[in-house]
Structure 1
Amino acid sequence: MGKRQSKPRCNSSKYREEETKCPSLPDAALRDQPAHTDAVASVASLAHDQCVSGGKDKAVVVCNWHRGNVVRRFWGHEHEVTKVGCLAELGFLFSASRDRTVKMWGLYSGALGAARCFSGHELVVSGLAVSPAFPRLCTGSRDNSVCTWDLETGACLRRVAISRNVVTHLCWVPGEPYVTQTSEDKTIRIWDTRELQVAHLFPAKKQIQTSCDVSPDGRYCLSTSSGFGHEGGEATLWDLRQVKGRVREFWGHAQTASSCIFLPQGLASFPEIATASHDGTVKVWSLETGACLSTAFLDGALSSLAACGKATFLCGSSTPWIHLMRVRSAKGPELQQVAKF
């Protein structure tokens, strides 16, 4: 596990306290209240310094992460939001919920309600993925099924159910008609969305697979595992072109690793990934060596990560706050909490 690292230098309670400590964000808003009123389940990045989040308060919230202010707030789900996603190029947001539906919202529309509702899953919708290259929606549920949907009509195009395939997360492969999926049956599947068939099934892990992300070049997939008491909780790197097995594992979380992201190119002088865990830590790792480069300690069980800008990314948690994180690399990588909103 290694020696526990010191806490980040900028461990603020709100934006007001960060103005003098973090001058690199001069426009940071004076937020005294979090964007949500309950736990944040999912966060995704938008264009123009904006992000979208969803949580236990049933709200879908668009914020300016640079300023920390709420831009828009959407209501319509009967139960808590589980996942969010977006097609920023088309101006649409998507939210999945425990009410078994997915809703599409117009980011620039003046309408208060959802532009479209996708209904058909029998249980909680726990996976959501959209792609600008293939303008369709892919969803997964605890009902063991994966579905594709027509964005214009809301009609279900295809539905496939596999025994014990309790979906935990979906992620589109950039520029390809493929979606990666993690499951409670401890596997990672690659779906060909054209006919909605399983193109590949990676060897099962020892723990439930909780989330996944795909590198910007579409070559690698990253997945995270459940865990408790320093058992499990690892992240695993898979090569989507050489699908014989895992490439590398990243160990260090004490509990379930709940989310993972590939950090954008140019974030540092070396390739990196980030993971978040129910143990309250965010870690940045070297892809080349598998070593943990830096750790930040936050409040609550962490739920979701999203890259949002050069050297910055967002983290949702079981608290109502969204954390803004930054990797500084002047003297080696150092992960800091810049602010939260």
Structure 2
Amino acid sequence: MGKLQSKFRRRSDLYRTTREEGAESVPVNQVVQYDPAHTGAINCVTTVSGWGPSTAVTRGSVSVGKGVEGQVVVVYDWRAGRLRQSLQGHRKEVTKVKCFPGTTWIFSASRDKTVLMWDLSSGDEPLQEFCGHELVVNGLAISPDGSQVCTGSRDNSMCLWDIESGTCLQRNTISRNLVTHVCWVPGSTSIVQTSEDKTIKIWDSRSWQVMNTFPAKQHIQTHCDVSANCNYLLSSSNGFGGQGCEATLWDLRQPGCKMVEYRGHLQTTACCIFLPSHQGAPAMVATSSHDCSVKIWDQNTAACLCTLTLAGSGPLVSLAPCDFGSLLCASFNTGLHLLHLGPGPAPDLCQVARF
């Protein structure tokens, strides 16, 4: 698929900003518009590595939409601005996608109660299907060694599957545990899970039992992420009118110990992620919200470093880091957005492309 407008200019040109006395910095160049990855709302976006000529460089994005189109998993080269593959196999809307780092494996969870596994190097047909949930699958995580996949559903259950055989190894159902998100703690046997009962649970993948349950928040927990050093956990909250709507930093070394809260969004905070660290820069986290804004925060002080509002975008439901300083954002109304975060203690956040 070709481009609607121009090719990407040199990175230095795209990211150059002008600054006037007392004014916010603004991009010099207009946002580059590429052919859209989706024509409607987007549910989830992630990045895939191990794809293209260099496995060390993240080159693509994987996203899923809503409605009939949402049954298709789209693989899009965000650098070249073109569609690479469309993966069709689900019978209902896809809710989550997850890629296994360093490979071309993609896992997709759906309202059709299944999870499918794909390999971009093996064509457009799914390699494996994981069936067993009774309702929509909202949680999806892959073990650090790539041998197992964890799923969570609105049927109150968490399941552990063998990737090679597709066999369900473990299943545990807990009353009122309507799963909203799942992530595997890097390099460990622990799995973090958020749910509509407003709690965060830590699972042991060996015993398939809950090791710890964090104190319930005031609102539903929508999303979670674990830091690369495995010390910290982020969770985000639904809400309205500034009530709720926060993200929370927890210390995984002291389960249930709340460190700081990131407050400033006016509607549900749908996604929260740790940003890749860079020498000399403060540790940062990013959040996206139904209030059409993305915020960058100082991880330790909870100070809001910058805010970007994408007018008319509708809810911003998913974020994914790309190269250092680049961030993908999924929206309901305006497709996928490529954002750039400038360096320094007071970084600028701007949109450089949309597709």
1:45 counterpart residue number: 47
Residue identity opposite 1:78 in structure 2: R
Given the alignment of the two structures, is residue 324 of structure 1 paired with residue 324 of structure 2, yes or no? no
Matches within 5 A, 1:64-83: 64-83=77-96
Residues 208-232 of structure 1, C-alpha deviation per residue, up to 9 Å, x if partnerless? 0000000000110000000111111
Matches within 5 A, 1:124-163: 124-163=136-175
Is the 2:325–2:343 contact (alpha carbons within 8 Å) kept by the matching residues of 1? no
Residues 304-331 of structure 1, C-alpha deviation per residue, up to 9 Å, x if partnerless? 1111111111111112611111110257
Query: Residue 268 of structure 1: CA displacement?
Result: 6.4
Given the alignment of the two structures, is residue 107 of structure 1 paired with residue 120 of structure 2, yes or no? yes
C-alpha distance 14-243 of structure 1, shift in aligned 2 (>3 A): farther
Of residues 268-277 and 63-72 in structure 1, the stretch that sits farther from structure 2 once superposed is: 63-72
TM-score normalised by the chain length of structure 2: 0.87
Given the alignment of the two structures, is residue 300 of structure 1 paired with residue 310 of structure 2, yes or no? no
C-alpha distance 101-233 of structure 1, shift in aligned 2 (>3 A): same
C-alpha distance 156-17 of structure 1, shift in aligned 2 (>3 A): same
Structure 1 CA distance for aligned equivalents of residues 11 and 251 of structure 2: 40
Given the alignment of the two structures, is residue 54 of structure 1 paired with residue 64 of structure 2, yes or no? yes
Is the 1:137–1:151 contact (alpha carbons within 8 Å) kept by the matching residues of 2? yes
Structure 2 CA distance for aligned equivalents of residues 192 and 51 of structure 1: 30
Is the 2:190–2:205 contact (alpha carbons within 8 Å) kept by the matching residues of 1? yes
C-alpha distance 38-285 of structure 1, shift in aligned 2 (>3 A): same
Residue identity opposite 1:80 in structure 2: E
Query: Residue 19 of structure 1: CA displacement?
Result: 3.8
Higher relative contact order (CA 8 A, sep 6+): 1
Residues 277-334 of structure 1, C-alpha deviation per residue, up to 9 Å, x if partnerless? 0010000001121111100111110111111111111111112611111110257211
Residues 134-172 of structure 1, C-alpha deviation per residue, up to 9 Å, x if partnerless? 521000000010001010111111110100000000111
C-alpha distance 280-22 of structure 1, shift in aligned 2 (>3 A): farther
Query: Residue 244 of structure 1: CA displacement?
Result: 4.0
Three-state SS of the structure 1 residue aligned to 2:121 is coil
TM-score normalised by the chain length of structure 1: 0.90
2:28 counterpart residue number: none
2:350 counterpart residue number: 336
Residue identity opposite 1:281 in structure 2: S
C-alpha distance 329-15 of structure 1, shift in aligned 2 (>3 A): farther
1:6 counterpart residue number: none
Structure 2 CA distance for aligned equivalents of residues 203 and 246 of structure 1: 9
Of residues 214-223 and 55-64 in structure 1, the stretch that sits farther from structure 2 once superposed is: 55-64
Aligned length: 325
Structure 2 CA distance for aligned equivalents of residues 30 and 296 of structure 1: 17
Is the 2:34–2:82 contact (alpha carbons within 8 Å) kept by the matching residues of 1? no
Residue identity opposite 2:246 in structure 1: E
Three-state SS of the structure 2 residue aligned to 1:23 is helix
Residue identity opposite 1:186 in structure 2: K
Matches within 5 A, 1:197-216: 197-216=209-228
Structure 1 CA distance for aligned equivalents of residues 285 and 156 of structure 2: 29
Residues 236-258 of structure 1, C-alpha deviation per residue, up to 9 Å, x if partnerless? 00000012421110100000000
Is the 1:278–1:300 contact (alpha carbons within 8 Å) kept by the matching residues of 2? yes
Of residues 203-212 and 46-55 in structure 1, the stretch that sits farther from structure 2 once superposed is: 46-55
Q: Which runs of 5+ in 2 are unaligned?
A: 16-30, 50-57
Structure 2 CA distance for aligned equivalents of residues 77 and 38 of structure 1: 17
Q: Which runs of 5+ in 1 are unaligned?
A: 1-12
C-alpha distance 167-15 of structure 1, shift in aligned 2 (>3 A): farther
Given the alignment of the two structures, is residue 16 of structure 1 paired with residue 6 of structure 2, yes or no? yes
Could you tell me which of 272, 275, 281 is aligned with 1:263?
275
Residue identity opposite 1:115 in structure 2: L
Is the 1:221–1:237 contact (alpha carbons within 8 Å) kept by the matching residues of 2? yes
Is the 2:160–2:171 contact (alpha carbons within 8 Å) kept by the matching residues of 1? yes
Could you tell me which of 68, 71, 86 is aligned with 2:99?
86
Query: Residue 92 of structure 1: CA displacement?
Result: 1.1
Structure 2 CA distance for aligned equivalents of residues 127 and 177 of structure 1: 17
1:4 counterpart residue number: none
Of residues 270-279 and 186-195 in structure 1, the stretch that sits farther from structure 2 once superposed is: 186-195
Is the 2:116–2:128 contact (alpha carbons within 8 Å) kept by the matching residues of 1? yes
Residue identity opposite 1:83 in structure 2: K
Structure 2 CA distance for aligned equivalents of residues 16 and 201 of structure 1: 51
Of residues 95-104 and 327-336 in structure 1, the stretch that sits farther from structure 2 once superposed is: 327-336
Query: Residue 31 of structure 1: CA displacement?
Result: 5.4
Structure 2 CA distance for aligned equivalents of residues 93 and 228 of structure 1: 34
Structure 2 CA distance for aligned equivalents of residues 217 and 175 of structure 1: 9
Residue identity opposite 2:249 in structure 1: L
C-alpha distance 95-267 of structure 1, shift in aligned 2 (>3 A): farther
Identical counterparts, % of pairs = 49
Q: RMSD of aligned C-alpha atoms?
A: 2.1
Structure 2 CA distance for aligned equivalents of residues 65 and 101 of structure 1: 28
